[in-house]
Amino acid sequence: MMKTKNMLWMSALLALLAGCSQGELGTDDTPGKGVGKEIRLVFSGGGESQEYTRAIASESENQIDNLDIYVFAATADGGDYQYLETWKAAAQDDTAAKTFKLSGAGTARKASIFPTELKGIPNLKLYCVANSTTLYKADGDPIDPLVAVKTNAATGAIETDGTKATDFEKYCTAKLEPAGTALGTPLVMTGSGTTKILGNIATVNIELKRRVSRFDIDNESAKTGLIIESVALGNGRNQATVMPGTLTTLDDAGRTASLIKYPVAEGSYLMLPKANQGVTESALYTYPLKDTDKAFLIIKGKYQNPMQKDPVPVEYHLDIQRAP
């Protein structure tokens, strides 16, 4: 029998940072220095959790092509965080340009940023977004420019409201189109952490997680008679919030607007004929799903009946169920 393995909610293990080559984001072990107070970001991990997949992430799944850090500030810890500024990974540290270089190697990576200090809002929340240079609204349009908060230099009172963190958390990935390209690497990965500007240095530990689910396929055609030619998804969500959040239950209008048949993953993407000779890892990526979406896998190929000379075309729809 052909089996599918739903590797849901993969923890990034932060081996994801090992996918960066020296030419991409740098490997200098010395953090950059700037005139502001330093916030050191430590990307580390490796322990299992309830969301951890049994599969080991591939090099392409660990890849980071770009990394943005959105800084929000608030008067009190856990308060009304408002947008302050954005820092971007680059080949060199440049405080004036708000760029940083990742240092280290393997599963241990570090970076330093020097956020602008504004009187009255010393508490910071950092949103780290990898492999997503553009954020989108739920309707699929790019977001409006983020508005930076401003305070009175003497009193610390907020004079200009910035974009709220609660609104930022609702921003989405690009919409997936049925006639487009199947989800593939590099994958969107995000994480967040909070800190407070105290002294000269503060350290923030960030755990990045992928914003997709992963499906592996286990099929030996010599035993099953099934020759897989393509894999797709029915009733899949066409986008996800960039930051993790609670999935809403879609009403009829929401199902029509948000659920699609995914683009077909086939050919070299599916790594045929490996799909018919055992386990094919990363056969399909999907945005997060909810049971009420009633999503299903669409497996197309040919079936070789041992009692017949030639294989016949087949299509199977397999309901997706979350294992306990």
Provide the pLDDT confidence category of residue 4 given band limits of 50, 70 and 90: low
pLDDT by residue (tens digit) across 237-247? 999 999 998 89
> 262: helix, coil or strand?
coil
Q: Who contacts 324 (Cβ-Cβ below 8 Å, separation ≥6)?
A: none
Tell which of 191, 210, 229 closes a domain.
210
Give strand pairing partners of 33: none
> 107: helix, coil or strand?
coil
Is 92 in the same domain as 48?
Answer: yes
User: Is the pLDDT at 200 greater than 90, yes or no?
Assistant: no
Is 201 in the same domain as 280?
Answer: no
Is 132 in the same domain as 273?
Answer: no
Q: Within a domain: residue 302?
A: yes
Tokens 């299992």 correspond to 48
Containing structural domain, residue 62: 10-210
Q: Who contacts 139 (Cβ-Cβ below 8 Å, separation ≥6)?
A: none
Is 253 in the same domain as 147?
Answer: no
Tell which of 210, 239, 269 closes a domain.
210
Is 239 in the same domain as 136?
Answer: no
Is 138 in the same domain as 249?
Answer: no
Q: How many CB atoms lie within 10 A of CB 258?
A: 18
Is 122 in the same domain as 269?
Answer: no
Max mean pLDDT range (73-77, 102-106, 261-265, 275-279): 73-77
In this structure, the strands spanning 82-89 and 99-100 are parallel
> What is the total count of domains within the chain?
2
Whether residue 273 has a cis bond before it, omega within 30° of 0: yes
Please report the pLDDT score of residue 208 as a whole number. Answer: 83
Q: Within a domain: residue 250?
A: yes
More confident of the two residues 123 and 263: 123
Is 57 in the same domain as 127?
Answer: yes
Is 72 in the same domain as 162?
Answer: yes
Is 186 in the same domain as 224?
Answer: no
Residue 103 falls in which region: left (phi positive, over 0), alpha (psi -120 to 50) or beta: beta
Tell which of 210, 239, 273 closes a domain.
210
Is 128 in the same domain as 257?
Answer: no
